Structure 1
Amino acid sequence: MIRQSQGFLTQLYAIADFIAIQLMFLLSWWLKFRSGWIPFDSPLPFKHYVMWSVAYAFIAVAVSYLVNFYTPKRRKRFSFEILKIVQVHVLSLLMLLSLLFILKEVDVSRSYLLLFLVNNILFISFYRYMIKVSLKRVRRKGYNKQFILILGAGSLGRQFYTRLKQHPELGYEVVGFLDDFQEKHDTAYQNYKPIIGKIDDLETILNEVIVDEVIIALPLDAHRKFGSIINTCEKIGVKTLIIPDFFDFLPSRPYFDNFADMPLINVRDIPLDELRNRLFKRAFDIAFALVAIVLTMPVMLAAVIAIKLSSPGPIIFKQERVGLNRRTFMMYKFRSMKVLPESASNTEWTVENDPRRTKVGTFLRKTSLDELPQFFNVLFGHMSVVGPRPERPYFVEQFKEEIPKYMVKHHIRPGITGWAQSNGLRGDTSIEERIQHDIFYIENWTFLFDIKIIWRTVINGFINKNAY
């Protein structure tokens, strides 16, 4: 079976990577020195580059072993593999450059090495993707199986079994359940794998049945049994995984943290908690806001003139909103309504055909041009270009009691546009749906995700039929 030949497969991956690197060496050599597409000085002899290509291949394979790149990854997303590939080859190139520096090999073309690096990353990513797709097809047909034993036939174990059956491409097969309180499933679950014993039968069953992983899906009041279960599994050499009985409270991708040398489950994985991500997003926000202000300056000047001529009152409407870490700030808009008492503007929703709007204001709200001053909020650090839309304190206090997880949106800076808004959830739409989209964005933020949201906002247009 595949699992019995994992050592062989690891060696096969290493050999395949070695061959792939040599192929990319030949391609990079041809592109740099023979194609005529890239200018170059007189190259070193071909055999000289062959020598360093072989050295690089050995370094890359060694680094891959060190970072466990050749271990099974059937449960991992392909994005994880791409990240590993980039890490392995960037680190390998840095090690090669260090070696070249120590040996005073200064004549090796640096542009060739860069081309070599890029080709390696692209080609190895491509062939690994093809392998992953092929393995998924093989597993769907019932080959390359891994066998699982579920401890606990209650709601937790049944829910895991149901979800596992929805992903045949993972190649897992449940051999059965162990449970202390049931001998067979209820009538509604007769199509499930059978209950083949009690928890105390675990060691006997592991010795008699082929099992690769044991899933502990027991309730919290059975935690006293976890120690003996884990000891039994490790004695036999079987992997153990635990589904926490409180997993309904956790996000889709919780992670373990460390505090005072104690492992903790972080119930909200927020990529923007990392300093490098925050700095990158902030730099992008400042650059984007500056460009947007310059490009829209003629439109903003026209709006200023139109507002001033159409109705008395200030041009900019300032309103208190709740932002990052529940701190309040003044959000700027072009005024679109007649001057109102502050209490009314802070506690009342706008409605269709709202008599408080001015004619110019109606146009500004429909086209979202009233939001343009918020790019200054971005520059001041109150907001981001992309993020959950901020709300007034009066409604925040109301929604946090009525809508589950509403306050999670305040873990990051609010935005001018967001995942909810780019999906049409603007104006008079479901608050619950907006929060679901906001939480998804918060837990899955990437720079490319921001670009996607901005692009969708632009493509879908600025006309908002729900803006009153």
Structure 2
Amino acid sequence: MFRNTARCIDAICVIAGALIAHEIRFSAPFELGGTERILIAFNCVLMLLLFPAFGVYDTWRGKSLPMMLARVATAWIVVAATGPVLVFTLHRMDAVSRLWFGYSTLISGMLIVTSKLAIHLLVRTARRRGLNHKTVAIVGAPGFSRTLLAHMEHASHAGYKPVCVFDTTAETTSPFSPRLGSLPVLTDIDTFAAKVRTEHINEVWLALSLSEEHTIYQFTRAFRHDFVNLRLIPDVRSLALFNSSFTDVLGLPTLNLTATPTSPLQMWPKLIFDRLFAMTALTLLAPLFAVLGIAIKLTSPGPVFFTQERKGIDGRTFRIYKFRSMKLHREAAGHLTQAKRGDSRVTKLGAFMRRTSLDELPQFFNVLLGHMSVVGPRPHALEHDDFYKDLVYGYMYRYRIKPGITGWAQVNGYRGATTKVEKMEARVKFDLFYIHNWSFWFDIRIVFITIFKGILGPNAY
């Protein structure tokens, strides 16, 4: 019923878009030509045929809203691009206004996307108020079950309502064990199956590790005659170092254990922001660059810029740029001495630049060249990477995304030298939190914190 209604709304959007475009182009909304009418009808029919293939009419429950809207927009572009082929085949290209066709495609697409967004937001609001729920029973160990329950509570708009939990680790013979929050916890599979059937629970989620094949088989066999949705949500905490996700490789579902956490499409806003921000910063700071360059030359012999090899995304090395803050000196191969308080190698001007982060400004050139991002985990010297990679859990995973000029660790006070392994462990925890919770608006938040709070660094010397 809902899908048929959605199809009707989409067809109305196509027709309405064509009429509005005709009004804009010719000031006569209802005086459509024969070829235009054929094109509109063709688009409606093709849309009803192709949209299901793109999954537009599949349930959006629990799925990413931006990705679903992108799927709708892609499907409409395919439909609209096929229309001119029909007109060309009929040798009627001269009978269709190109401007009208462009307006019609754009307006109809906007109406379709807007209508689906509006309906989705209405449904989300209804679910938050307790309507349109799917009931769920969870099977698994209490720890992972709590994680799933927390996700459900956080994403209440998805409309999943937990009803009960089956504890696979309980050793008691009693069918019931202590409650998990407000939910009853069952330990007998027959009692659990009876409850699912009696209360008409919609879905059973098997929150089990991949090694528990016998338990998975038990539950699939127990519900083999029922029409309940049985889903496996694998507990891979013992297998993966980090948050895992599924992808498609050669048509096979594949679990990413330590792959790049975000797709290129998700990173486009970040890439555009990085380039625009870097160009703006370099333009506005050009006079300051000139002043600092002259001051560095006048106060100590040597080059204006300090360069050093650092690791970038996926471990690819690049040369980082900084204003030189130390006197020229030599170090033994493979050895790097971190600056410390009162370090005699640091010039007076260099000490000021390091405290105020002015020495970091040339890294906007690295951002412009695509080596770095404005926000991301700070890249460390290669010698430090070799030292900490075996000491700090998850250290090298920081390089799965572009390193940044500033980051979540830096605005939380973890700047400067890391003289203890514990300090590096804390910094890495903040970096991994950033990677796992990344969003474009998280980046903007860090930029504002850096500008208004994090420029001065008491630990940088």
For 2:267 and 2:163, how far apart are their aligned partners in 1?
46
* Residue 226, structure 1, aligned to residue 213, structure 2: no
* Residue 134, structure 1, aligned to residue 134, structure 2: no
Aligned to 1:94: 81
Aligned to 2:9: 16
Q: Secondary structure at the match of 2:183?
A: coil
Give TM-score, length-normalised by structure 1: 0.78
Give the letter for the 1:103 counterpart.
L
Match among 62, 65, 76 for residue 49 of structure 2 = 62
Q: Secondary structure at the match of 1:236?
A: coil
Give the letter for the 1:125 counterpart.
V
Q: Secondary structure at the match of 1:340?
A: coil
Aligned to 2:403: 414
Deviations 1:81-121 (A, max 9, x none): 21112111111111112222222332323333333333233
Are residues 443 and 176 of structure 1, via their aligned partners in 2, closer, same or farther at CA, if it must alter by over 3 Å?
closer
* Residue 239, structure 1, aligned to residue 233, structure 2: no
For 1:111 and 1:419, how far apart are their aligned partners in 2?
48
Structure having the larger proportion of residues in helix: 1
Match among 15, 39, 46 for residue 52 of structure 1 = 39
Structure 2 counterparts to residues 160-239 of structure 1, below 5 A: 160-179=148-167, 181-182=171-172, 183=174, 186-187=177-178, 189=180, 191-195=182-186, 198-199=188-189, 207-218=197-208, 222-233=212-223, 235-239=225-229
Q: Which moved more, 1:76-85 or 1:129-138?
A: 129-138
Deviations 1:411-460 (A, max 9, x none): 234334456557776547965565355445555778x5698479648964
Are residues 381 and 178 of structure 1, via their aligned partners in 2, closer, same or farther at CA, if it must alter by over 3 Å?
closer
Unmatched 5+ residue regions in structure 2?
A: none
Give the letter for the 1:308 counterpart.
K
Give the letter for the 2:201 counterpart.
V
For 2:288 and 2:225, how far apart are their aligned partners in 1?
72
Structure 2 counterparts to residues 244-283 of structure 1, below 5 A: 244-247=234-237, 249=240, 251-252=242-243, 254-258=245-249, 263-270=253-260
For 2:209 and 2:199, how far apart are their aligned partners in 1?
25
Q: Secondary structure at the match of 1:193?
A: strand
Q: Secondary structure at the match of 1:391?
A: coil
Q: Which moved more, 1:68-77 or 1:276-285?
A: 276-285
Deviations 1:131-170 (A, max 9, x none): 2222223223322221222223633334423543444333
Aligned to 1:4: none
Are residues 395 and 458 of structure 1, via their aligned partners in 2, closer, same or farther at CA, if it must alter by over 3 Å?
closer
* Residue 318, structure 1, aligned to residue 311, structure 2: no
Q: Which moved more, 1:174-183 or 1:71-80?
A: 174-183
Are residues 442 and 118 of structure 1, via their aligned partners in 2, closer, same or farther at CA, if it must alter by over 3 Å?
farther
Backbone CA RMSD of aligned residues: 4.1
For 1:113 and 1:421, how far apart are their aligned partners in 2?
52
Aligned to 2:339: 349
Q: Which moved more, 1:426-435 or 1:72-81?
A: 426-435
Corresponding pairs, count:
449
Deviations 1:353-379 (A, max 9, x none): 655432332443355442344355457
Give the letter for the 1:112 counterpart.
W
For 1:190 and 1:380, how far apart are their aligned partners in 2?
52
* Residue 405, structure 1, aligned to residue 398, structure 2: no
Q: Secondary structure at the match of 2:339?
A: coil
Give the letter for the 2:57 counterpart.
Y
Deviations 1:356-407 (A, max 9, x none): 4323324433554423443554577654555432101333244334433121
Aligned to 2:329: 340
Kept in 1: contact 2:165–2:180 (CA 8 A): no
Q: Secondary structure at the match of 2:136?
A: strand
Deviations 1:167-219 (A, max 9, x none): 43332233433456443665463631342x63356665555441221111245
Task: Give 1:9 shift.
Answer: 0.8
Are residues 97 and 258 of structure 1, via their aligned partners in 2, closer, same or farther at CA, if it must alter by over 3 Å?
same
Task: Give 1:408 shift.
Answer: 0.6
Give TM-score, length-normalised by structure 2: 0.79
Deviations 1:270-301 (A, max 9, x none): 26675x88999889978876786676555434
Q: Which moved more, 1:353-362 or 1:131-140?
A: 353-362
Aligned to 1:28: 21
Are residues 411 and 203 of structure 1, via their aligned partners in 2, closer, same or farther at CA, if it must alter by over 3 Å?
same
Are residues 19 and 424 of structure 1, via their aligned partners in 2, closer, same or farther at CA, if it must alter by over 3 Å?
farther
Aligned to 1:156: 144
Kept in 1: contact 2:304–2:324 (CA 8 A): yes
For 1:82 and 1:178, how far apart are their aligned partners in 2?
36
Kept in 2: contact 1:147–1:212 (CA 8 A): yes
Kept in 2: contact 1:387–1:413 (CA 8 A): yes
Q: Secondary structure at the match of 2:132?
A: coil
Are residues 283 and 80 of structure 1, via their aligned partners in 2, closer, same or farther at CA, if it must alter by over 3 Å?
closer
Q: Secondary structure at the match of 1:143?
A: coil
Task: Give 1:77 shift.
Answer: 2.6
Task: Give 1:129 shift.
Answer: 2.6
Are residues 282 and 56 of structure 1, via their aligned partners in 2, closer, same or farther at CA, if it must alter by over 3 Å?
same
Kept in 2: contact 1:254–1:268 (CA 8 A): no
Give the letter for the 1:465 counterpart.
G
Aligned to 1:3: none
For 1:277 and 1:191, how far apart are their aligned partners in 2?
37
Give the letter for the 2:66 counterpart.
S
Aligned to 2:298: 309
Percentage identity across aligned positions? 31
Unmatched 5+ residue regions in structure 1?
A: 1-7, 36-42
